[in-house]
Structure 1
Amino acid sequence: MSERANAMRASILRSHGGPEVLRLSELPAPVPTSGETLIRVGAAGVEPGLDVRTRLNGAGWQLRFPHVLGASMAGTVISSPDAAAPDPGTRVAVAPNISCGECAYCRSGRDNSCAQREFLGIHHAGGYAEFCSVPTRNLIPIADSTSFAVAASTAVSFGTAWHLLVTRARVSPADVVFVVGAAGSVGTAAAQIAALFGARVVLGSRTPQNLRELSDEVRALGVVDTTTDFAPQLESIAPGGVDVVVETVGSDTWAGSVDSLAPEGRLVCCGGASGGEVGLTLRDLYRRNLSLLFSTSSTFEDLRLVLRLVDEGRLRPRVDKVFDLADAAAAHAAVEAGGLQGKVVIVPESAA
């Protein structure tokens, strides 16, 4: 492995709280068991939900302290007892979901619905460390041209957005897609994916001034400021309503998002950053033949396809800020401060 074969540096969470509870420490290096592969972490993404909210209050998960966060990561294969593991030195991204592999959902390729599903960085030690032992079947080789920072920025954001738009909403060139929260990592990914499929894209954000580059990239029909009643803005851009809404914000924008749908429109939702309690008036839904679809994360196959498109340069995750492992607290603070135009990643010095 290296001269640090028996120990490694990691950013440790010993209690819930603000960013300051993340402290650099030394731990025994993990030893992979059957079904696992040890990787040297090249980069770990800082995920607003799986990392930041889990650090703050657990986000509904019960952690065992001390704990190492880091759901999304990429790195280099070191060793494995598995004959089927990639060769040492292989550059890989890591799927963050751990599913049972045996239930009806897993056998049919719908592993993100597995009742036994767990997450790296929550139920198991994650990527805020120099080394991590991960399920061998979660490894996805990446091209030399794809940086670890980009690969680590892909798994959660782009995997989730792909599952929302492609698997659930079945986006097509005939669609107008309204991305709410387009300045966020999932929103940015959704805009790129919609454009990849030939759909016409409308971007919505509380910080529309940050969307100029993305708007040019996806050739957006327009940009909507969602801090106000955005119906008039949207009506001027898409007079007949939109076919698909990607809703990542929650209660603050929910009513406007539903109202913006054209007849037979589909709303896909993966979270509620501004609040999870929303209202529904049933007749407004069935009279327009609307569909409300919900999703969590992505399947292994979704992510394999997304990473191939990243390798080919057809999808382009953005990295806004890079922090050393010792500065994990500052990385979390940057995510909480907002105003980002891409992902925040943590890179161990040993990977530099």
Structure 2
Amino acid sequence: MTTIPTTMKGVLLIGHGGPEMLEYRQDIPVPTPKDSEVLIRVSAAGVNNTDINTRIGWYSKNENSSDDESWSGNALSLPRIQGADVCGEIVAVGRLVDSSRIGERVLIEPCLNDINGQTIDPSWYFGSECDGGFAEFTVVSSKHAYKLNSDLSDVELASFPCSYSTAENMLTRSRVTKDDRVLISGASGGVGSAAIQLAKARGASVIAITSPNKNEQVLELGADEVVTRNVNLVEALGENSVDVVIDLVAGDQWPQFLDVLRPKGRYAVSGAIGGAMVKLDVRTLYLKDLSFFGCTVLEPEVFGNLVHHIVKGNIKPLIAKVFPLEEIHQAQEVFQKKGHVGKMVLTLK
């Protein structure tokens, strides 16, 4: 039987600002699972844009940022344990959870619509509206802890939940099939590299946008073509040349995404690292009969499909660098420089 301590090591977000707002502690109380929850000993947790965006208050659109600074737009409660990407082992269960789940190796579905057996709407994000995985232990509704059998390491598995579920959700919402030519922005990042693999798993043709020094790595992931970031997409690809745009960047290049979409094309977005404010000629939208998909809350089938891909070996993890949890400041600083391909992962063992 696993001995569960009363306190644990972890990282608390204590306010908004730089990495100094992340406080590494060794005296955080270990959470107790409620009736429909499981307690998970965390072995590895990925680093994501969501963690940093929440820390700096990027999600807020109001002058009073405390009103809407979480992922869902709700007020953020501090201190908060962040961390949406979690791989670990169930070590205890709540009263209504079958005790046979103890010992299961699990991934946590980060988009939560169940809190202790109660359905919620809008959904929460693990590590935003509730405590996440940047600690030795965490709790989540049993429904959102997915058992899986895989030869991959815990670090490799922790690279999947957030980025790959976001990518799979974008492909699901935009209905990507084997007949589609798909353009992916930010293709070397966690979500972008996941989108390449998952689009190829659907049989689609993939064009990836990345910086010149990452071309070979992106091609190795399965991209059929690579175009350099900041090139004129119309000149490089031609007008009306792609069926779907998977956008993680937005920014100044955004109008060109619509120019290269074919009539009745589909545009899916789940990021804006190049700048959130864009210029839209509404005539392009309606004259080309384009469909837009804002992708935040996961479709019900998405995470289960992702776990299936992992177990079947249809996708592979791409680890850029691994840090111990106590070096989270350095990990996030390296992450923000965007000089890597793939995922940064924190270890807790």
TM-score by structure 2 length? Answer: 0.89
1:345 aligns with 2:345: yes
1:23–1:326 Cα contact (<8 Å) kept: no
1:43–1:74 Cα contact (<8 Å) kept: yes
Q: What's the Cα RMSD here?
A: 2.1
1:16–1:58 Cα contact (<8 Å) kept: no
Cross-structure match for 2:84: 71
Q: What pairs with 1:318-329 in structure 2 (closer than 5 Å)?
A: 318-329=318-329
Cα distance change of structure 1 residues 343 and 124 upon mapping to structure 2, 3 Å threshold: same
Cross-structure match for 1:212: 216
Cross-structure match for 1:201: 206
Q: Structure 2 counterpart of 1:284, which letter?
A: T
Distance in 1, matches of 2:57 and 2:288, equals 39
Q: Structure 1 counterpart of 2:175, which letter?
A: R
Say which is worse superposed, 52-61 or 122-131, in terms of deviation.
Answer: 52-61
Say which is worse superposed, 194-203 or 287-296, in terms of deviation.
Answer: 287-296
1:37–1:85 Cα contact (<8 Å) kept: no
Structure 1 residue ranges without an equivalent (≥5): 107-113
How many residue pairs match? The answer is 332
Q: What pairs with 1:200-279 in structure 2 (closer than 5 Å)?
A: 200-205=205-210, 207-220=211-224, 222-235=225-238, 241-279=241-279
Cα distance change of structure 1 residues 245 and 138 upon mapping to structure 2, 3 Å threshold: same
Cross-structure match for 1:47: 48
Cross-structure match for 1:90: 104
Cα distance change of structure 1 residues 54 and 200 upon mapping to structure 2, 3 Å threshold: same
Instruction: Give SS of 1:278's match.
Output: coil
Distance in 2, matches of 1:172 and 1:64, equals 41
Q: Structure 2 counterpart of 1:180, which letter?
A: S
2:14–2:80 Cα contact (<8 Å) kept: yes
Cross-structure match for 1:16: 16
Structure 2 residue ranges without an equivalent (≥5): 60-68
Cα distance change of structure 1 residues 215 and 285 upon mapping to structure 2, 3 Å threshold: same
Q: Structure 2 counterpart of 1:197, which letter?
A: R
Instruction: Give SS of 2:129's match.
Output: coil
Cross-structure match for 1:192: 197
Cross-structure match for 1:127: 133
Alpha-carbon displacement from aligned partner over 1:183-238 (angstroms, at most 9, x marks no partner): 11111111111111111111112x13213122133151x21112232321223xxx
Q: Structure 2 counterpart of 1:21, which letter?
A: M
Q: Structure 1 counterpart of 2:145, which letter?
A: L
Distance in 1, matches of 2:321 and 2:223, equals 25
Distance in 1, matches of 2:304 and 2:331, equals 27
TM-score by structure 1 length? Answer: 0.88
1:152 aligns with 2:165: no
2:324–2:346 Cα contact (<8 Å) kept: yes
Q: Structure 2 counterpart of 1:279, which letter?
A: K
Cα distance change of structure 1 residues 75 and 100 upon mapping to structure 2, 3 Å threshold: closer
Task: Using CA pairs under 8 Å that are at least 6 residues apart, name the structure with larger relative contact order, 1 or 2.
Answer: 1
Distance in 2, matches of 1:83 and 1:41, equals 19
2:233–2:260 Cα contact (<8 Å) kept: no
Cross-structure match for 2:65: none
1:143 aligns with 2:156: no
Distance in 2, matches of 1:42 and 1:299, equals 27
Cross-structure match for 1:33: 34
